[in-house]
Copies of this chain bind each other. A is one copy, B any other.
Amino acid sequence: MSWLAGAGVPDEENDNLGVDWVLQYEFGDIDPTQAITEFRTLIDDLTGAGLRVQVRHGHGAALLLCIQVPRDHLGRMVHQSRIKDWLYGISHVLPVGDENTTADPETACEEIRSVYHAVTWQKHLGGAGITPNFGKWERVTSSFPLHDQAACSDLLRQWSRKTVLSSQDLDTIRALFGEKVAYYYAFIHCYSLFLVVPAVLGIFSWMYLGPYSTLYGGALCVWCVVFVEYWKIRETDLSLRWDVKGVGRLKVNRVQYHWEKEVRDPVSGQVQHVFPGWKQFTRQLLMIPFASVASIALGSLIVVTFASEVFISEVYNGPMKSYLEFLPTILFSLSLPAITSFLTSIATRLTDYENYRTQDLYDLAQTQKTFVMNFITSFLPTILTAFVYVPFGKQVIPYLHFFRHIGLKIDVARAHKDFQVDTSRLQQEVISLSMTSQVINFGEEIILPYVKHVLWQKWRNYRDRQIGLTRKRSYSKATDLLLIDPPDEAPFLQRLRSEADADEYKVEEDILEMCVQFGYLALFGVAWPLVPVGFLLNNWLELRGDFFKLTLECQRPPPIRADSIGPCLLGLDFLAWMGTLSTAAIVHLYRGPMSEVHLSSMLLTIFVAEQVYLGVRFVASTALQKIFADTLRREEARRYAVRKSFLEASRSRTGSPESPGSRVRQKVRFHDRVNVYSSSSDTAPSPDGSPSPTIEAQDEDLRGDREAEFWNGPTSNIADAGVKLIRALSASKAGEGKATKAA
């Protein structure tokens, strides 16, 4: 990382002044005396946990608490965290030292993670117990570390100049923002590289095969399966590279977690707070009614919108047609947020009720539910077009006579005879959704919020100045001085306030967005072969745009560790499967004239496609696991190394004259040769036998006369005895032959 060397000495503008963490305390809704009491508790909690605090005012009725963890304290936390990692088998090199050792964090994320723990962990775990937006601290509205602006802008500059990220870039992301965020970049990067294959195939298919090609569809499905299986391996590979494999199990309990019993493991002595698995599973079953309700609510909304849109644009001929055409979509767009947020609130309550031990598991369950909703809103409209409107439109339209009876003006001629459902509608929809919507999405997600954020900050600063002017006229000099930033701190405090106002970065949303894109490709990519090309270009920009958003629009996220992209992995599996069925159905439906399609042949196609999918997935996963066996074996080797070093250490210890007893203790004799499987062990020590086994010296082993007689029998040299037997047997055989001849 030589290019980062320049960032080693930060300029004044980017200096964080040693602030490790920032809390924003808002007290606008309570009266000052209550706020003062609460604030004093807050300061006591923070300083009680050994943290250094400094306070400045924020925008409006808010205080900004700058927190610094003293270096010795931080170093000890880092060391203890590493010990814990080692104990849980996450890392495999035991850090040297005892309880008071302080360790130098290797990466910024390791440092900030310990700061995060120092601020948020419960007091009995050694933290200050500040849980923002929850319970006692619901008025602590923001809790975040400051961005490392020099490094971020440097990285962004680097990326804008290169096409493909390297592993080192991912490592840098991980070092700055932690593994959970780094996994997203690793995923989008890996996915985009994989996209090159269908992009090339797509261009070829576009030029020579046209849309709805069986060949391209098949290739696309296989590609989807292979990509998902490859990503699973890549994920494991990264988790080993970043030493986070299985990191979920060492995470601390959520504050909201209710356990039913404490279980002490008999072997390790670990105490675990257990909530019965079957109970959790029973609660999880509520997912089924939830998914049904969500599907019905969103589904019916989409169906109604879709139907009215079709009705108005294709059949209706009355007044204001050109305006009415847009009405359904507008109504849909207006009602969607309300419905989604209502469903999300149900989902959150469900997830709360499911009672997960760690925040990770909680987020995972919540994302699963979001995935269901996202799946419906993203894919249902196109599914309706592909499998309902285009194939069955012709049968449905004539029934529209009904509307005529109730007085609507309908273009009956069109509805009856001339009406032809436009089979290219699917292709148009795919093009519009995959191309234009990606661009719009980009604007909505990255550019618009940035502009909003900048303007809002400008406005607030302007307001603050205005208030300052008002204040000057009416208040004492002392208060005045307190609320005006000292000039050398001003740019820093301005940045502080801006970051405190910024949104939290939710990496799950970005991952979900990529999953939806993947799903779009898997489900409908066959309708227009250039889809992957468009996605490839989009992703180049998306990757950089998301990083821009992360560093300039959002608060720096706490560097949370993860060993996977989370529940979206299951989503990818699901989408690859759905994609196979959908692609098969689309190819079957749209390849030839629509009227010649029979239901049975269609079903047969889908059925066969599914079996092929299952087969390909099995082969791909077996093959990839074999090919990357070395990668996956790495962890085993490390575990082996840990135990080997322990063995050597324990041998050198027992080898020393201090503890000679342990060796003799195991040197016991067999007390009974036959009944050894009843595990009774007689521990009478034996006289020291010679280490190298000699047959003559072992007579004491033999039990009883008959055994001794058998082993020491008439012949002392076994080889000679055998030779005699061979001769005798050969002779008797020959003799037998003779005897038979003679008989």
Contact = CB atoms under 8 A, between A and B. Distances in A.
B102 A667 contact: yes
Interface stretch (A69-77, A296-304, A413-421, A445-453): A69-77
Contacts of A607: 603, 606-607, 610
Contacts of A102: 666-668, 689
A165 interface: no
Interface residues of A, number: 183
A596 interface: no
B732 A97 contact: no
Interface in A576-591: none
Nearest to A93: B267
Most chain B C-beta atoms within 10 Å of own C-beta, residue among A267, A600, A641: A267
A248 to B, nearest CB: 11
Contacts of A638: 267-268
Task: Classify the secondary structure of A's interface with B.
Answer: helix
Nearest to A101: B666
Nearest to A171: B677
A663 B98 contact: yes
Interface stretch (A83-91, A192-200, A206-214): A83-91
Contacts of A677: 4, 107-109, 148, 151, 172, 175-176
A629 interface: yes
Contacts of A103: 666, 668
Nearest to A725: B57
Contacts of A39: 719, 722-723, 726
Given A36-B723, A642-B643, A646-B646, A731 B18 contact: no
Interface stretch (A220-228, A328-336, A698-706): A698-706
Contacts of A28: 733
Interface stretch (A47-55, A504-512, A527-535): A47-55
B654 A96 contact: yes
A5 B675 CA distance: 8
A668 B650 CA distance: 28
Given A71-B701, A603-B604, A677-B109, A707 B622 contact: no
Contacts of A353: none
B107 A689 contact: no
A598 interface: yes
A151 B677 CA distance: 10
Interface in A626-683: 626-630, 634, 636-644, 646-647, 649-651, 653-655, 662-663, 665-670, 672-679, 681-682
Given A43-B718, A63-B725, A96-B665, A471 B277 contact: no
Nearest to A263: B630
Interface stretch (A305-313, A377-385, A433-441, A482-490): A482-490
A319 interface: no
Interface string A463-495: 000010011001100010011000011000000
Contacts of A133: none
Interface in A674-698: 674-679, 681-682, 689-695, 697-698
Given A55-B721, A600-B603, A607-B603, A735 B470 contact: yes
Given A40-B723, A87-B640, A626 B97 contact: no
Nearest to A483: B728
A265 interface: yes
B627 A713 contact: no
A462 to B, nearest CB: 14
Given A653-B653, A707-B18, A722-B63, A94 B676 contact: no
A1 interface: yes
Interface in A419-443: none
A360 to B, nearest CB: 15
Contacts of A73: 693
Contacts of A17: 706-707, 710-711
A679 to B, nearest CB: 5
A57 B730 CA distance: 11
Contacts of A599: 600
Copies in the complex: 2
Most chain B C-beta atoms within 10 Å of own C-beta, residue among A68, A72, A88, A662: A72
A49 to B, nearest CB: 9
A281 interface: yes
Most chain B C-beta atoms within 10 Å of own C-beta, residue among A53, A598, A682: A53
A262 interface: no
A666 B79 contact: yes
A236 B52 CA distance: 50
A417 to B, nearest CB: 30
A651 B96 CA distance: 9
A98 B722 contact: no
Nearest to A274: B630
Contact of A647 (B94, B606, B689, B735): B94
A106 interface: yes
Contacts of A653: 649, 653
Interface stretch (A7-15, A252-260, A402-410, A545-553): A7-15
Contact of A87 (B63, B105, B643): B643
B265 A722 contact: no
Contacts of A86: 643, 647
A407 B163 CA distance: 78
A32 interface: yes
A467 B4 contact: no
A674 B8 contact: yes
Nearest to A715: B55
Contacts of A674: 7-8, 10, 15-16, 148, 150-151
A729 interface: yes
A104 interface: yes
A72 B56 CA distance: 77
Contacts of A738: 474
B101 A663 contact: yes
Contacts of A560: none
A407 B5 CA distance: 97
A267 B637 contact: yes
A61 B725 contact: no
A138 interface: no
10 contacts: A36-B723, A40-B723, A43-B719, A43-B722, A72-B689, A72-B691, A98-B655, A103-B666, A479-B732, A600-B603
Given A18-B707, A278-B623, 20 more contacts: A4-B678, A10-B674, A15-B706, A17-B711, A18-B701, A28-B733, A55-B725, A61-B733, A62-B729, A68-B701, A88-B640, A96-B665, A98-B654, A109-B677, A151-B674, A268-B637, A474-B739, A479-B728, A483-B729, A488-B709
9 tightest A-B CB contacts, nearest first:
A600-B600, A268-B641, A175-B677, A277-B626, A50-B693, A73-B693, A70-B698, A603-B603, A265-B637
